[in-house]
Chain A
Amino acid sequence: MSLEPRIGVFVCHCGLNIAGVIDVKELTEYAHTLPNVLVAIDNRYTCADPGQEEIKKAIEEHKLNRVIVAACSPRMHEPTFRRCIAEAGLNPYLFEMANIREFSSWCHPSTPKEATEKAKEIVKMAVAKARLLQSLETMEVPVTNKALILGGGIAGISAALDLADMGFKVYLVEKTESIGGHMAQLDKTFPTLDCSICIEGPKMVDVSRHPNIEIISYADLLSVEGFVGNFKVKIRKNPRYVIDENCTGCGECRDVCPIEFPNKWDMNMGVRKAISVPFDQAVPLVYTINMDYCIECYKCVDACGARQAINFDQKPGEVELEVGTILVATGFDIYTPYDDSRYGYGRYDNVITALEFERLILAAGPTGGKVVRASDGKKPKTVAFIQCVGSRDVNKYEYCSGFCCMYALKNSILLREKYHEDVETYILYMDMRTHFKGYEEFYRRAREQGINFIRGRVSQINENPKTKNLLIRAEDTMLGEPIELEAELVVLCTAAIPSKGTDEMSRILNVTRGTDGFFMESHPKLKPLDTPADGIFLAGACQGPKDIPYSVSQGSGAAARAATILSQPTWKIEPIIAVVDSNKCRNTKAKCGICVKACPYGAPMAPEEKPAEINPAMCHGCGTCVAECPSGAITQMHFTDAQIFAQIRAALEKNPGDKILGFLCNWCSYAGADLAGTSRFEYPPTLRAIRVMCSGRVDRDFILEALRLGAGMVLVAACHLPYDCHYISGNVKMKARMEALTKMFEKLGLSPERFRVEYVSAAEGVKFADLIREMTEQMETLGKEKIKAENEKLRPTLERMLSKKK
């Protein structure tokens, strides 16, 4: 749009909220004097219908092509006015808001003159930016209405059934030979003690029979490309050496096969044949030959006969899928404490994990449901469950694994019901955690059944080499004294940890993981099923340990979240994104790719010797790459360098030495400043604020320019480290950038208080007000003269640095 800007400024009284402090008439008249401003009108309530009508009328009458509303926070009404000007036929992005309420009238009520002056400059800054605004088009991408689910545990199964019932095609990709996940390994489930496979088995069969679900088992995710609505996925199907369609699951081959190997499904406590299924209820019921063990006698081929299901020549197959959304439900693994000598796991025959115990007590397990010791095959008379092995341990896994207390209760009750008084059961715990429906009642049931609870952490387990019994040493924290307990079998309730391959999965999907290693949700409270990558959702224990009811709910929840995309023919993408100027990008000449590293979403690609390119559908518009790009080749739409420089210059045109120039990130600090305003925390009117979407956008040059123009103080305010950033890690990148700058300023003799990086959350209105107060005081203490002198000294260097870039 090369047209000369024709700007209309609409100043709002907001009743007395603004007009009570600020001289609106004076402000309106001032606005009219600014370059390119054709009309300036004040109104009692601009956001109300008459106010909006007035704007529309003015656009038509004066052929306005830019609109500024000087009123409240853009976080409040920007969408309203964008809609308004769009209705009048203007591109909604040709709008700018001047926040004179939260940033002036509300926070400077006792200095109306200064408040009016500040409001004028806020409007001036808005006009400066508005003159450079460009129309932007919202992108729409088509949506493939198919879903990919990774992981066929109970979470993935629930999600698959829900999505398939809604009518969407679902590909369920499972790494192992069968879907079912951990739930298929369990004996009974708390708190109702129903048989696990009896309730999961029918669901697994439903999955296999559903016309909308395609199970791709024994498969690995290779790559994912594309973006929300349009993912291209590559999957490798590992060879089973048995042809799916021909295998009837009769098991005749297994019966003739001579070769056995430890069955992982049975926690290596029992064996399976070289051609077999991991467990009888496996879905799909297709046999697999383990070539690591097969001796190629071909007896199975004979047994299979005319069905001809066995093919020793099968090769890995690659499947390419196109899907609109991806659900990650890859679950968890359990920690095996080989590395912790306290427990003797792996050394002592009669120390097992809880998952091993599940396979022991299960009637279909390797011992036919007999709980026996590995050392002598005898039933133990005392069984001790040790809680929090690895969990809630600052040296191992800091978090609570959530379901161990409940399954320890479950397994003690099961032991009790099976062997009655024959087996004495102990639970050594730190705290019993039995929240959720019916769980506390279950705990009471265990206590009533005479299970012994000892509160304390185990310090050492030793084996009696003759009896193979175990001597447990612990501190009884109730009695405050050390205790010793002899048990014939010890069951370790070990931590749930991220499933193997989670790191690779996180790399392929570009979904971050928390410090605990589990996948991280977009927001812990409000977006627990979303990931920062649009169109990718999480369900079940892959996001953190969860029991079955919770995993099932999440499966259904994630299915619903995915359906919000899958049910649309197209998906809208915000146009405030970053764009690379291929002529300026230096990657064509030298290997750069700095943007690729900077972006938290994997949106840029910098193929060798080619200019970088940013995938608009993946870009979230934080602008971090823009600030990092060494050749200034990237532009963030609606927050361009030119626009921000114009704001800086407008803000510092008059008396720069008396001002604090602040860059505030939209989601935390700007919101915190808004809160200071709405809470009427008064602070000095020294701040001139520039809103950026993310602190990661704050270019080094912005700071240099501000100081070159003689700003008294410069502030960059961001979301708290390390996790609060709305764009995952924009604040981390900003921090590194600003630390380097601080060092340089130190050398150049800038008073350290003049350049500050602060972290203010949306809830910290007080902190924000205090911060401006403190900075203003520091500015006054330094004094105009000193600031001026420092600036004079600095200017040549700053000018040199800034000109280099141009």
Chain B
Amino acid sequence: MKLLKNETENELTIEMILHAKRYSLTLDKTRCTGCGICMEICPREAIEIKKTPKVDGEKAKPPTIDISEEKCHYCGMCAPICPFGALEVRINGEYIIPVINSESFPQLIREIEVDTTKCDLDCVDCEQACPLSLIKVSVRTPNGKEVTHIASRPDKENLKVVVDIEENFCPCCRLCEVKCPEGTIHVEKIFHGSLRINREKCPEGCTDCLDVCPISGALYLSDDGKVYVNELYCVYCGVCKIVCPEEGALELHRTYIRHTPIHSGAWNKALEKLTSTKVMTKELQTKSLTKTQESLKKRFLWRRKF
């Protein structure tokens, strides 16, 4: 058995190689924001958050994550939970997430609807709005050929606007929806919750949270020199809270996670860690409106709490 770890500028890969099977987990460092959601749910405590030390006079930098090749056992739970799609698990070279196949873990639901019939041929507002550059807008002929010089085309009414979104990496911040002049895009948030800044606690001139926030506009600097939240855009990833130097200055609560239906203890635990016991219990109760609760009581003898 061999346990390997390999880190390049853009990638961190760990591997477990057995005679008969090989496992790998790759972190795309260009997508990772250091929010630590994966760390919170990892059952093996294999993921560690490393804060980037602040250099005076420079902007705060987001933390990085490190994964232990000794501890990880390639369950794959971190991959589907990452809102930025930065992690990938492979078994024998194939993209397989065992916990998803066995329905032990849900997938996040990214609900993004685009009705391009309303789009102006020359509008690229959403493309520009996306803070993570995941949107590519193109204009195409009926048979799908991309057209570049729209102004010179005679068949304008036959041309169609196509909006490609790399959904797997999208944290659903809704910036595109809000910035769209025609109401073409509709985005549901994945994580719901609340983020509050107790500004009286913020140190003079500190903008660390703002510096690391991956979603432009979720935090902004007001005229009073303090940082404010615009919850319309916030995806509740929590990286701001990690870098915040003042205990209690930032308060983050997640209240709901949109995910595919699931019945799994591992998810209950993950949900409890990411939100709160209350939220987890609520989710269980909603499920158990059906008779599942009864059957749970019978089977989960050791967990009378339910």
A interface residues (Cβ-Cβ under 8 A, vs B)? 256-262, 268-271, 293, 295-299, 301-302, 308, 311-313, 349, 356, 360, 366-367, 372, 374
Contacts and interface: CB of A to CB of B under 8 A. Distances in A.
A360 B302 CA distance: 41
A20 to B, nearest CB: 79
Interface stretch (B18-26, B151-159, B171-179): B18-26
B264 interface: yes
15 contacts: A258-B75, A258-B101, A259-B73, A260-B98, A268-B1, A295-B75, A295-B266, A297-B102, A297-B104, A298-B266, A311-B301, A366-B18, A366-B19, A366-B21, A367-B20
B18 A258 contact: no
Interface in B56-101: 73-75, 77, 98-99, 101
- The listed residue with most A CB atoms (<10 A of its CB), out of B19, B43, B44, B299, is B19
A367 B301 CA distance: 39
- A-B pairs, top 4 by smallest CB distance, nearest first, are A297-B104, A313-B302, A269-B19, A258-B102
Contacts of A260: 21, 73-74, 98
A312 B299 CA distance: 11
A360 B19 contact: yes
A257 B265 CA distance: 13
Contact of A298 (B99, B101, B265): B265
A296 B299 contact: no
Contacts of A311: 301-302
Given A258-B101, A295-B99, A299-B103, A308 B20 contact: no
Given A295-B99, A299-B102, A312-B303, 8 more contacts: A257-B102, A258-B102, A259-B73, A260-B98, A271-B20, A271-B21, A298-B265, A356-B19
A275 to B, nearest CB: 12
- The listed residue with most B CB atoms (<10 A of its CB), out of A258, A261, A367, is A258
B2 interface: yes
Contact of B21 (A270, A293, A296, A372): A270
Contact of B18 (A270, A302, A312): A270
Contacts of B104: 258, 295, 297, 299
Given A258-B104, A295-B99, A308-B299, A270 B20 contact: yes
A49 to B, nearest CB: 76
A704 B61 CA distance: 84
A181 B44 CA distance: 30
Contact of B99 (A297, A312, A374): A297
A171 B20 CA distance: 37
Given A258-B102, A366-B18, A366-B19, A296 B302 contact: no
B19 A367 contact: yes
B301 A308 contact: yes
Nearest to B41: A295
Chain A at the B interface: SS class: loop
Contact of A374 (B19, B300, B303): B19
B5 interface: no
B19 A298 contact: no
A396 to B, nearest CB: 23
B264 to A, nearest CB: 4
A349 B2 contact: yes
B301 A269 contact: no
B256 interface: no
Given A270-B18, A295-B266, A366-B19, A301 B1 contact: no
Interface in B13-60: 16-21, 43-44
B68 to A, nearest CB: 14
A360 B19 CA distance: 9
A293 B42 CA distance: 11
A583 B99 CA distance: 70
Contacts of A367: 19-20
A269 B20 CA distance: 6
Contacts of B75: 258-259, 295
B267 interface: yes
A302 B264 CA distance: 10
Nearest to B91: A260
A262 B265 contact: no
Contacts of A262: 1, 16, 18
- The listed residue with most A CB atoms (<10 A of its CB), out of B263, B269, B302, is B302
Nearest to B42: A295
Nearest to B76: A258
A256 B300 contact: no
Interface string B251-264: 00000000000011
B105 interface: yes
Contacts of A259: 73, 75, 98-99
A296 B73 contact: no
Given A262-B1, A298-B264, A293 B73 contact: yes
A298 B103 contact: no
A471 B20 CA distance: 25
Contacts of B303: 312
A367 B263 CA distance: 34
Contact of A261 (B73, B99, B105, B264): B73
B18 A297 contact: no
B302 A312 contact: yes
Nearest to B267: A297
A295 B74 CA distance: 11
A237 B301 CA distance: 21
B257 to A, nearest CB: 17
A492 to B, nearest CB: 15
A374 B17 contact: yes
A46 to B, nearest CB: 75
A494 to B, nearest CB: 17
A356 B74 CA distance: 24
A293 B266 CA distance: 12
B264 A297 contact: yes
Nearest to A303: B102
Nearest to B3: A262
Contacts of A349: 2
Contacts of B299: 301-302, 308
Contacts of B16: 262
A582 to B, nearest CB: 51
A630 to B, nearest CB: 53
A256 B266 CA distance: 14
A296 B19 contact: no
Contacts of B77: 295
Contacts of B21: 260, 270-271, 366
A356 to B, nearest CB: 8
B264 A299 contact: yes
B154 to A, nearest CB: 57
B265 A258 contact: no
A409 B133 CA distance: 64
A212 B122 CA distance: 87
A372 B20 CA distance: 9
Nearest to A257: B102
A297 B301 CA distance: 15
B42 to A, nearest CB: 10
- The listed residue with most B CB atoms (<10 A of its CB), out of A259, A261, A313, is A259
Contact of B19 (A261, A293, A297, A372): A372
A278 to B, nearest CB: 15
A297 B100 CA distance: 11
A360 B18 CA distance: 12
Nearest to B1: A268
A296 B20 contact: no
A302 B98 CA distance: 17
A258 B43 CA distance: 13
Contacts of A366: 18-21
Contacts of B19: 269-270, 356, 360, 366-367, 372, 374
A420 B213 CA distance: 65
A271 B104 CA distance: 19
Contacts of A313: 301-302
Contacts of B99: 258-259, 295, 297
Interface string B294-306: 0000011111000
Contacts of A258: 75, 98-99, 101-102, 104-105
